[in-house]
Amino acid sequence: MNKKQKVLSEIYRICQKQNNFVFDNDLVKKISKKHKFGNPFDVTKLDSTEKFAKIMLRNDVFVSHIGSGKHKFIKGISKGYHDFEKINDEHIIQWKYKKSILNEYDTSESNILSVASNQKIIHNFLYQNIVAPIKVYNARRTKTSFEYQIDEEEVKMNNIQIEIDLTMELNGAVTIFEGKNNFSKDFAVYQIYHPFLYFSRIKKENKLPIKKISACYILRKKIDGTSVLRLYNYTFDNENDITSIKLLKSAEYYLIKK
């Protein structure tokens, strides 16, 4: 186990002993200090199940942020984490492009999204139109409160911070983006669900003339020196239930330099 997994393991055992699976940042800081883990705020940030402590996998639990500095171990990993679907051969695309000096210069999430946008991959994937007049809005953070379902369990998020890597809009259709510089097995659904729910509330309250909302997850990996981008477009059949995630379409792009 790495230090982060050791911290998570001990917190889970404490919760088991107390038969109370809600814990706060004070406990996270205390246990992080004990194991000399330098960034306690990173302990509960688990992008995929690959970062879970083994005790969490054995007990089929994941960590959910519930706001106001509190977190909860919830039963049923599949309720909070979603496996990336296999991309069929007919959706694998050789994408010819002329590399600019800043393309792929670094491996940050913002660079991944910039490459996908600048090379018109997003245009092709979402709209089948590389000259679509998309409006682009860069990364933002905001605080809000939510109430929603994780299957049959009600969750209240109080004053929680949500992060949106990128937002695009075309003719009232809003798409939020999450980018990662690896091909992981799965992902934490809240990463796209919280921004989806944020815009759904705006739509429902008629604050903006939003027609529809979806989420796009973009992954990048170098394979034999070639950058490969995987794009997954999701929605939620029931905006009040995080487990209602539904794949709309997916594709894989090989960036072939001209």
Boundary (domain end) residue, out of 75, 104, 130: 75
How far apart, in whole angstroms, are the C-alpha atoms of residue 237 and residue 235? 7
- pLDDT tier at 242, thresholds 50, 70, 90: very high
Total domains in the chain come to 2
Q: What is the pLDDT of residue 159?
A: 80
Higher pLDDT, 193 or 100: 193
Residue 70 sits in the same domain as residue 105? no
Residue 131 sits in the same domain as residue 240? yes
161: Cβ contacts below 8 Å, ≥ 6 apart: 141, 142, 143
Beta strands (DSSP E) in 55-165 are 61-67, 70-75, 81-83, 92-97, 135-137, 140-150, 153-164
Domain of 122, in residue numbers? 90-257
The verdict on residue 114 lying in a domain is yes
Residue 140 sits in the same domain as residue 232? yes
pTM of the model: 0.91
The verdict on residue 81 lying in a domain is no
Residue 57 sits in the same domain as residue 106? no
The verdict on residue 33 lying in a domain is yes
From the list 120, 100, 107, 103, the residue with the least C-alpha distance to 180 is 107
The verdict on residue 82 lying in a domain is no
From the list 62, 65, 37, the residue with the least C-alpha distance to 49 is 62
Residue 111 sits in the same domain as residue 214? yes
Residue 28 sits in the same domain as residue 112? no
Check: CB of residue 235 under 8 Å from CB of residue 215: yes
Whether the pLDDT of residue 126 is over 80: the answer is yes
Residue 122 sits in the same domain as residue 181? yes
Check: CB of residue 223 under 8 Å from CB of residue 114: no
User: Out of 26-35, 90-99, 101-110, 238-247, which region has the weakest mean confidence (pLDDT)?
Assistant: 101-110
Dihedral of CA 37/43/47/48: which sign?
A: positive
How far apart, in whole angstroms, are the C-alpha atoms of residue 256 and residue 103? 13
Residue 59 sits in the same domain as residue 176? no
Residue 67 sits in the same domain as residue 172? no
